[in-house]
Structure 1
Amino acid sequence: MTLTLTGLHRYPVKSFRGEALQSALVEPWGLRGDRRWMVVDEDGMVVTARDVPRMLLVVPELVDGGLRLNHPDLDPIEVAVPDGSTLADVQVWSSSLQAAPAGAAADAWVSKVLGAPARLVYLDDPTRRAVNPRFGRSDDRVSFADGYPLLLASEDSLAALNELIAGGRHPQEGPLPMRRFRPSLVVRGAPAWDEDHWRRLRIGDAVFRVVKGCDRCIMTITDPDTAERGKEPLATLARHRRWDGSSWFAMNLIPDTPGGSISVGDSVEVLEREESDGPPR
């Protein structure tokens, strides 16, 4: 089995559009620059494209000293990285922590996108948020990603899923692109769904633990180009990839050797595997 890293993606702002990279530095909490920014409501609760699909139309760019945000209906805005002298309480699912407010101009801009009062915040100290202790170690950390530093998906599994969609109830919605699943890393060269059994990987010179499968939400049924919603892939995953009341696609990773660089084209080696009835969960 010859495995190759074929895609590398970063999402500067949680729930905004991602960007394809050729190489990236692996930090303890994810790829450098990945999901250090986030939108929250007036109470500090995370706001995502699960509830506001049009967030996927915002295109973020990391620039020297900050962030540039682009939207088809708004003038772009540049936001400087906050110095961290002021902090606000924020909530990401079950995680309560502090983040640095981006300022009134940024808040006004994201509020226009959402059509409701909102704030933009920056994770100035990425050591503040721990991963779920059930699947990680006490010193594992994560940015504003849903739960873990990186998400790996397989082209071979997506091809198998698209075949199932083509023969299912909503064939007109397929084939789906990998962008629907917002992975950090994309690999090719294994049998479909073989990643369910991977437990440790080497990509280039970096080593990762494969700690948990990814249970998918309504983000995946949202077209990232139009923000319109359909039925797939959740309808098909619910029939073929259903365990513990959830539908599963892709795997969550934690880096064991942060500080290394990985690149598209790097070889991928499965260092440890475990036979199981689906992904770890």
Structure 2
Amino acid sequence: MGFVSTLIDLSQGILFVESPCCKERLQITLESNVYEDAIEDIELYGQRYEVYSYDNETNAWFSEAIGRTCSLLRYSSFNQDFMLKKIKGAATCRDMKNKLNFANEAQFLLVSEESVCDLNRRLSSDVQKGISGKAMVQVSASRFRPNLVVSGGRPYAEDGWRYIRIGNKHFSSLGGCNRCQIINLALNSGQVQKSNEPLATLASYRRVKGKILFGILLKHATVDGEQQQGADSWLHVGQDIHPD
């Protein structure tokens, strides 16, 4: 799944999907009303969902890309509720109703370029001091699989954000994202390379109550007078971030 790459063309309203396992690039229409005739009910982890299903060609493409039979389903709901709690100044979240648009923790994951740069500085320092005993590892923001990448602030400033606004869209922070060994997998030229970094370095200074936090989880929040799905429901590269 990590080798699947995507590109959204808002002018055409199309999501392009590519994989080294597939000869052709897949095109998926973004407008949900195109699939209104393909609505079905499913049960996933004990939760009922009303979803849009895609055609056999789309399902066959993803089955080939992933290497196992699968179906692409689309679900959209704004009725998510979470419990937010503080642990020694760092926030973590717990889903209260298990309605997360198929996400296992939250709708969005935000990572700061400054935080990534600070991590890379620590990785370089460890190599220079001979702590790691291995070749230097440098990571990009994409290693953490974020939806949103921001820049222009201090490293880890996002830890203290409770709410942010991007354009006319509002989001509430659900706390830090707990990291696992998946971030130690580097995907290069169709090959998977594994090491103990960057998780080992993160564990040395980003551990909170046994959790290794990097990046923050976000939930889309509607405000008074804002429609849940309006004509301009997209975020754009280069938009200003307004944290609170």
Would the TM-score normalized by the shorter structure come out above 0.5?
A: yes
Secondary structure of the corresponding residue to residue 219 of structure 1: helix
Instruction: Tell me, yes or no, if the aligned pair for 1:173 and 1:232 is still in contact at 8 Å.
Output: no
Aligned match of 1:87: 40
Aligned match of 2:106: 148
1:57 and 2:3 correspond: yes
Cα distance change, pair 266–75 in 1 and its aligned pair in 2 (3 A): closer
How far does residue 214 in structure 1 lie from its aligned partner after superposition?
0.7
- The CA RMSD over aligned residues, in Å, is 3.5
Secondary structure of the corresponding residue to residue 162 of structure 1: helix
Instruction: Tell me, yes or no, if the aligned pair for 1:131 and 1:147 is still in contact at 8 Å.
Output: no
Mapped to 2, the partners of 1:206 and 1:215 lie a distance apart of 25
1:71 and 2:19 correspond: yes
Mapped to 2, the partners of 1:100 and 1:221 lie a distance apart of 34
Secondary structure of the corresponding residue to residue 143 of structure 1: coil
TM-score by length of 2: 0.69
Bigger CA drift: 170-179 or 243-252? 170-179
Instruction: Tell me, yes or no, if the aligned pair for 1:216 and 1:248 is still in contact at 8 Å.
Output: yes
Mapped to 2, the partners of 1:248 and 1:232 lie a distance apart of 14
Q: Identify the match of residue 218 of structure 1 among 136, 160, 181.
A: 181
Aligned match of 1:107: 59
Aligned residue pairs, count? 214
Q: How does 1:174-189 map to 2 (within 5 A)?
A: 174-189=137-152
Cα distance change, pair 246–94 in 1 and its aligned pair in 2 (3 A): farther
Cα distance change, pair 74–200 in 1 and its aligned pair in 2 (3 A): closer
**Over alpha carbons, which structure has the higher Rg?**
2
Cα distance change, pair 89–218 in 1 and its aligned pair in 2 (3 A): farther
Cα distance change, pair 172–117 in 1 and its aligned pair in 2 (3 A): same
Instruction: Tell me, yes or no, if the aligned pair for 1:141 and 1:149 is still in contact at 8 Å.
Output: no
* Equivalent position amino acid for 2:218 in 1: L
Deviations 1:168-220 (A, max 9, x none): 32663522011111222222233222221221233344433222111123332
Mapped to 2, the partners of 1:214 and 1:116 lie a distance apart of 28
Aligned match of 1:234: 199
Mapped to 2, the partners of 1:127 and 1:142 lie a distance apart of 8
TM-score by length of 1: 0.62
Aligned match of 1:253: 218
Bigger CA drift: 73-82 or 247-256? 73-82
Deviations 1:210-256 (A, max 9, x none): 22111123332232444514222212112221122221111112233
* Equivalent position amino acid for 2:70 in 1: A
How far does residue 102 in structure 1 lie from its aligned partner after superposition?
1.9
Mapped to 1, the partners of 2:176 and 2:205 lie a distance apart of 15
Q: What stretches of structure 1 of length at least 5 have no aligned partner? A: 1-54, 272-281
How far does residue 114 in structure 1 lie from its aligned partner after superposition?
2.6
* Equivalent position amino acid for 2:42 in 1: D
